[in-house]
Structure 1
Amino acid sequence: MKKIAILVIISLFFTGAFALKANAGELKFGFIDLNRALNESDEGKKAVTALESLVKSKQNLIAEKEAELTKLKNEIASQTAILNSDALKKKQDQHNDLLKVYQRMVQDSKDEIQKKQADFMKDIIIDIKKVIAKFGKDEGYTAIFEKLASGLLYMPESTDLTNKIIEIFNGSSKK
């Protein structure tokens, strides 16, 4: 129900805005693939490289902990027949504790990577949106839509502004 209300409000807003603009002159629309702009911009590529580096370091730490777990599990399996029940229970408790540490490490690593990714992308999206707004204003666009989120089924290639925005964004981020 909320979605319908929001769509109605957006429709009314755009209908009113377009009616005013139509009286003033030509309507000009553009579309941008924000995901592509994120991934292909210089800043986006730097963020991806930093994330890949973080993922690799976390994977190495997790692999080390996994090797410890495997070693301890193999020790328990090979010594089950020769250990008394107290010693066996101690080894199993040690394995369970190490397993909990491992699982926590995996979850913490996932959380950290997701947070870093969100932080990187949030900052880049804010900067890209500033570039889009300035470009739209300077070039006289009535509206610029996000290509994938708009539910767009067709658009002429000439209305895709993604390459222009990436080019402008790359130029502005080098300054």
Structure 2
Amino acid sequence: MRRILFAVLVLVFAFQTPAFAAPQKIAVTSMAKLIKDSEIGQDAQKKMEKKFESAKKQLETKQKELESLKQALQKQSLVLSLEAKQDKELEFKRKVRDFQDMTQATQRKMQMEQKKVGTPVLELLQKVVNEYGKKNGYTAIYDKKSSGFLYVDETIDITNQLMLEMNRAYRAGKK
């Protein structure tokens, strides 16, 4: 008797839930595109490039020096004595280590600066998405790439609308 009553209750609730459920309004957006193509994102990227332009050139110069030193070492290896060859190889290894240390230090600085420059971009993006979602009655707005969706109808993609809102908010904040 209990099983029958339980089955009836389950069926009643199963069929009633969709009838009383509010319609869901869902959208997707490309967070990567918003970050990369928005005015605030492009400004942040320009700041990063400008700040690390000299370090990048310095690394490229060091890399070219290492390549030319390696070629010179290979050419001279047949002519040099064993001791001179070992000295040159040690010098080359030391320079490679210095280059690697310099590269790692630059990458750490770039990551720290990326966080610093990227935080306002992400904060503005979050604010715009929240406001847009509330204003337009969305239940949920998902990121296209990280949401795990395999297919999304393009009619629910609001990336362009959010891009306009982000750019408006950024321009308003600059004034």
CA RMSD, 1 decimal:
3.1
Q: Which amino acid aligns with 2:157?
A: D
User: CA separation of 1:55/1:23 partners in 2, compared to 1, >3 Å: closer, same or farther?
Assistant: farther
The residue correspondences of 1:1-80 to structure 2 (distance < 5 A) are 23=20, 25-53=22-50, 56-77=53-74, 80=77
Choose which of 74, 85, 103 in structure 1 pairs with 2:100: 103
Tell me the equivalent position of 1:143.
Answer: 140
Choose which of 165, 168, 172 in structure 2 pairs with 1:171: 168
**Structure 1: where are the runs of 5+ without partners?**
1-18
Q: Which amino acid aligns with 1:101?
A: D
Relative to structure 2, which stretch is displaced further, 113-122 or 44-53? Answer: 113-122
The residue correspondences of 1:105-120 to structure 2 (distance < 5 A) are 105-120=102-117
Tell me the equivalent position of 2:127.
Answer: 130
Q: Which TM-score applies when normalising by structure 2?
A: 0.70
8 Å Cα contact 1:54/1:113 also seen in 2: no
How many pairs align? 156
**Structure 2: where are the runs of 5+ without partners?**
1-15
Q: Look at both structures and tell me which one has the larger radius of gyration over its CA atoms.
A: 2
Choose which of 146, 149, 152 in structure 2 pairs with 1:152: 149
Give secondary structure in 2 for the equivalent of 1:31. Answer: strand
User: CA separation of 1:98/1:172 partners in 2, compared to 1, >3 Å: closer, same or farther?
Assistant: same
Identical aligned residues as a percent:
26
